[in-house]
């Protein structure tokens, strides 16, 4: 062999012995599999045995959602029984019994007694501490409804919402059918809710058909009172002015009186010493 190659070989061996080497350990396949399985176990959904506990957590007596759910059920029940004609007051225990909510906690009961039912605008409390539904109008039959509509018509208070009457009057639909000829319904343009008015037949006047056609042909939807008044004045028609009671003019405050001028008092003579005083002009 070539001696030069032998020398190079020896040098290469020496360098190899002096250079440190790090051996890579072989990964244990079982350990790798266990590491991969750990996150999967954490992401697993809870078993069926924990399902009932989760439901109980949502409906615990301390949550506000649960409390207001109990209150909403009570108010709805009180409204329904009022519309069915049951207007006698109930205690809280009787209400909970009728609504199948006897399993509520003591904290929720206390909240209902001291805050929720007492301050609710749809519930009224009597002197005995019992609860009853608070309707918008206190009417019990068709006569009461007709009387209410007449009062609103005479006093110029306008109409009454149909939904308020349905909420207030027990067996409302039956009463409305009987009073069909005594009531006029007008749909409110804003929200299409029906408004009830008393049908005062004494105010019915015969109107010529031609006048009715002219009246209906005039479009005033996009005009306010001021624009209508200006249009009438241009046509040479004076619009009706408000001749109602005028507000009294505000009382004018009295002006403060000017400062009184000081009266210059003339010096008084000593009249009581007239016989004693002497003049010395002649001396």
| Average pLDDT rounded to a whole number, residues 13-37 | 61
- 121 with 146, same domain: the answer is no
pLDDT of residue 112 exceeding 80:
yes
Question: Is the residue at 85 inside a domain?
Answer: yes
Q: What is the DSSP string of 199-264?
A: --GGG-----HHHHHHHHH---TT--HHHHHHHHHHTT-PPPP--SPPPPPPPPPPPPPPPPPPP-
Predicted local confidence at residue 56, as pLDDT? 45
119 and 146 in a common domain: no
**Does residue 158 lie in a domain region?**
yes
Last residue of a domain, one of 171, 186, 201: 201
Structure-model confidence comparison of residues 36 and 87, the more confident one: 87
Domain total in the chain: 2
Give a yes or no: residue 77 inside a domain. yes
- What are the pLDDT digits (tens) for 47-93? 444 343 433 434 444 478 898 999 999 999 999 999 898 888 999 99
Do 71 and 126 share a domain, yes or no? Answer: yes
In a shared domain, residues 154 and 109? no
For residue 37, is pLDDT > 60? no
Instruction: Tell me how far apart the alpha carbons of residues 279 and 283 are, in angstroms, rounded to a whole number.
Output: 9
Cα gap 167→83, rounded to integer Å: 7
User: Which pLDDT does position 49 carry in this prediction?
Assistant: 41
Mean predicted confidence (pLDDT) in 125-137:
91
Residue 159, token pair as written in the block: 């109409």
Residue with tokens 């939807």: 221
Identify the residue whose tokens are 């539904």. Answer: 133
Q: Domain of 172?
A: 142-201
Structural domain includes residue 123? yes
User: pLDDT per residue over 144-194, tens digit each?
Assistant: 999 999 999 988 888 999 999 999 999 999 999 999 999 999 998 888 899
Residue where one domain finishes, among candidates 133, 157, 174: 133
Distance in angstroms (rounded) separating the CA atoms of residues 273 and 278: 10
pTM: 0.52
Asked if 69 and 127 sit in the same domain, the reply is yes
* pLDDT over 90 (residue 206): no
Same domain, 127 and 149: no
Question: Is there a domain that residue 242 lies in?
Answer: no
Tell me: do 121 and 176 sit in the same domain.
no
Instruction: Find the CATH number of the domain harbouring 65.
Output: 1.10.10.10
Give the per-residue pLDDT at 200: 86
Mean pLDDT across 215-222: 78
Q: Which residues contact 89 (CB under 8 A, 6 or more apart)?
A: 126, 128, 130, 131, 132
Question: Final residue of a domain: which of 89, 116, 133?
Answer: 133
Please tell me the predicted confidence (pLDDT) of residue 201.
Answer: 83
In a domain, 68, yes or no: yes
| Residue 118 shares a structural domain with residue 150 | no
Between these two residues, 164 and 46, which has the higher pLDDT value?
Answer: 164
**Whether residues 75 and 129 fall in one domain:** yes
Q: What pLDDT sits at residue 281? A: 64
Q: Which residue has the tokens 């019992």?
A: 130
**Rounded-to-integer distance, Cα 245 and Cα 173, Å:** 41
């Amino acid at each position: 062999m070539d001696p030069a190659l032998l020398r190079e070989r020896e040098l290469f061996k020496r360098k190899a012995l002096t250079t440190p080497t790090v051996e890579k350990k072989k990964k244990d396949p079982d350990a790798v599999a266990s590491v991969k399985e750990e996150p999967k176990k954490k992401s697993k959904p809870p078993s069926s045995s924990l399902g009932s506990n989760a439901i109980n957590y949502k409906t615990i007596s301390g949550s506000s959602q649960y409390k207001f759910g109990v209150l909403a059920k009570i108010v709805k029940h009180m409204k329904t029984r009022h519309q069915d004609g049951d207007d006698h007051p109930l205690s809280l225990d009787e209400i909970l019994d009728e609504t199948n909510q006897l399993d509520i906690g003591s904290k929720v009961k206390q909240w209902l007694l001291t805050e929720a039912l007492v301050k609710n605008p749809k519930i009224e409390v009597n002197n005995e501490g019992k609860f009853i539904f608070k309707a918008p109008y206190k009417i019990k039959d068709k006569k009461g409804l007709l009387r209410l509509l007449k009062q609103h018509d005479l006093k110029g208070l306008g109409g009454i919402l149909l939904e308020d009457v349905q909420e207030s009057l027990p067996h409302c639909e039956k009463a409305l059918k009987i009073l069909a000829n005594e009531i006029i319904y007008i749909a409110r343009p804003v929200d299409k809710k029906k408004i009830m008015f008393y049908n005062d037949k004494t105010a019915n006047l015969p109107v010529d058909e031609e006048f009715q056609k002219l009246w209906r042909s005039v479009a005033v939807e996009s005009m306010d009172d001021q624009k209508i008044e200006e249009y009438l004045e241009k046509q040479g028609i004076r619009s009706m002015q408000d001749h109602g009671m005028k507000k009294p003019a505000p009382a004018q405050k009295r002006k403060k009186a000017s400062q009184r001028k000081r009266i210059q008092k003339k010096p008084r003579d000593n009249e009581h010493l007239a016989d004693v005083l002497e003049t010395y002009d002649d001396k």
